[in-house]
Chains A and B, each alone.
Chain A
């Protein structure tokens, strides 16, 4: 009570609503994707993954033309050379330049990875979307079929298909074979999202306002499913690269003179026995690095997309 005289009477005048609204301060609001990008940028591991991937893509495009050798060029005078100034990654047992061959191989590995992931995405989204939007009986039938396909180990399918069709140009067969089972997780994911969103209140609100199914799909379901799909694609790429490398390592992949990182590693294994460890080391490190980069990027994306993890 002792301080009461220190306030002027004017301060006790009532304020109107308009006066109040004029000077509101709010926390800066951030758009969803901008926020995702901001959080992804804070994740150093994911960002280094992204940078490595970009470097790999650039090198896969231009890397074969840098030191003047061709990937199929044999020079029996320089077989099994250790990395040196002329042959930066050394040469193989036929005297082929490994620097050029590595980037040529990386090109195929990355191509296979992206193509397979894209096919997974395409088939998965269509199949999952249709199952999710369809009536219950069709939906459960479609999911049963997907389940059966998924329980077949994909590498067996890939092996079978490459045995059957694998004689000539095996690239296309390999990509096809990988997507044959690879689309199922994507389809399950998409269907789950569609079902969840179909039942959710905002889709219902939209429907009650007269929106068509197509509209709901376009305006609500696709934007909301985009995040998990993006993560899934990012993680499908290394899966395909891994499958290709394993197949090639088993001698079922690309046929020479074509090379991928997997076939290079397979060739290198022979070199290992006679003490040319570098021949397997470089493709091995490269495969691991690509896998690592995609995996950390996928993880980072998943974390960044989850608003609950928002810091």
Chain B
């Protein structure tokens, strides 16, 4: 499969009063054509920073790229000028943001907001643009699109606004859609509708999706592959099945265990992960999950685990994968 996006050893830091915060610490992953890749992790793990960095929407300063490449169709986006990036934003790559309540301009008509990018990239007349706006609203199943295009964001509900956001992102039929927690701020019932809509549109428009979320439930039936991030690094990645059925990294396992399921008995406690992620002002020398990991080894504290390939599609970074660990602690993996 041809890759539309390849991220190689990407490192992003923020300059602050206390020093440098290493938000993303050397990550590698790629996205194939028409593929959906989910990036999963807790808040503060660097997933949103990664998403925003692809479009170069990070505020710079304080953010800066410390190294690595973002290859989009083989071209490194980090070498592009602002003008060249403008031609890509909204046109080839689009983004849907987390909070639909704040992501739309409150003093601009919905229709104008949807076609604003299109007008710039495709040079349409006002009439064509309005027609297109109505079409887009229809596409994302907003009822009464003719009336709705003339309204302002405050006249829309949260779910409807997120549909508008999707219409806005899709209007130039981009090759890649980055959805940064698109359903987090919505009601559960609306969440499912929005995900369905995205899936439907993906099939129709042949695009790739990067889905950023902390919610594994969202990921399961949406994504082809999953990348698990922790403290600015990728700890495990694989096909959705690999991750759900055969997780290797203790963090992935704990993450899966923390999703409540219907067949749980009422008395069974929810499995929260104790503690907080490390402070990236002082990044740990070894494995970042060491503090919270219940299977930590001595080596984890000071040595960074390397990535181990479990299959063609599945790899994880954990010292437990090391042959020595299995030798010392017995060959059987204890379940967490």
Q: Which A residues have a C-beta under 8 Å from some C-beta of B?
A: 4, 7, 9-15, 17, 20, 24-27, 310-311
CA distance in complex: A90, B232 (Å) = 69
Taking A7-B303, A11-B298, A15-B296 as known contacts, 19 extra A-B pairs with beta carbons closer than 8 A to each other, sorted by chain A number, are A7-B299, A12-B297, A12-B298, A12-B299, A12-B319, A12-B324, A12-B329, A13-B297, A13-B298, A13-B328, A14-B296, A14-B329, A15-B301, A17-B294, A20-B290, A24-B291, A27-B18, A310-B17, A311-B17
Q: Is B143 an interface residue (CB 8 A)?
A: no
Question: Using Cβ atoms and an 8 Å threshold, which residues of chain A touch B328?
Answer: 9, 12-13
Question: Using Cβ atoms and an 8 Å threshold, which residues of chain A touch B297?
Answer: 11-15
A14 contacts B324, C-beta separation under 8 Å: no
B291 contacts A311, C-beta separation under 8 Å: no
B324 contacts A9, C-beta separation under 8 Å: yes
Question: Using Cβ atoms and an 8 Å threshold, which residues of chain A touch B300?
Answer: 15
Contact with A along B284-315 (1 / 0, CB 8 A): 00000011001111111101000000000000
Interface size of B by CB at 8 A reads 25
CA distance in complex: A11, B300 (Å) = 8
A–B complex contacts, Cβ < 8 Å, 29 sampled: A4-B322, A4-B323, A4-B324, A7-B303, A7-B322, A7-B324, A9-B324, A9-B327, A11-B303, A12-B297, A12-B324, A12-B325, A12-B327, A12-B328, A12-B329, A13-B297, A13-B328, A14-B296, A14-B298, A14-B329, A15-B296, A15-B297, A15-B298, A15-B300, A20-B296, A25-B282, A27-B279, A27-B282, A310-B17
CA distance in complex: A12, B295 (Å) = 11
CA distance in complex: A14, B296 (Å) = 6
CA distance in complex: A310, B18 (Å) = 10
Q: Is B281 an interface residue (CB 8 A)?
A: yes
Which of A12, A15, A24 has most B Cβ within 10 Å? A12
Q: From residue A14, how far is it (CB to closest CB) to chain B in Å?
A: 6
Question: Using Cβ atoms and an 8 Å threshold, which residues of chain B touch A12?
Answer: 297-299, 319, 322, 324-325, 327-329
Q: Is B16 an interface residue (CB 8 A)?
A: yes
| Residue in B295, B298, B322 whose beta carbon sits within 8 Å of that of A10 in the complex | B298
Question: Using Cβ atoms and an 8 Å threshold, which residues of chain B touch A26?
Answer: 279
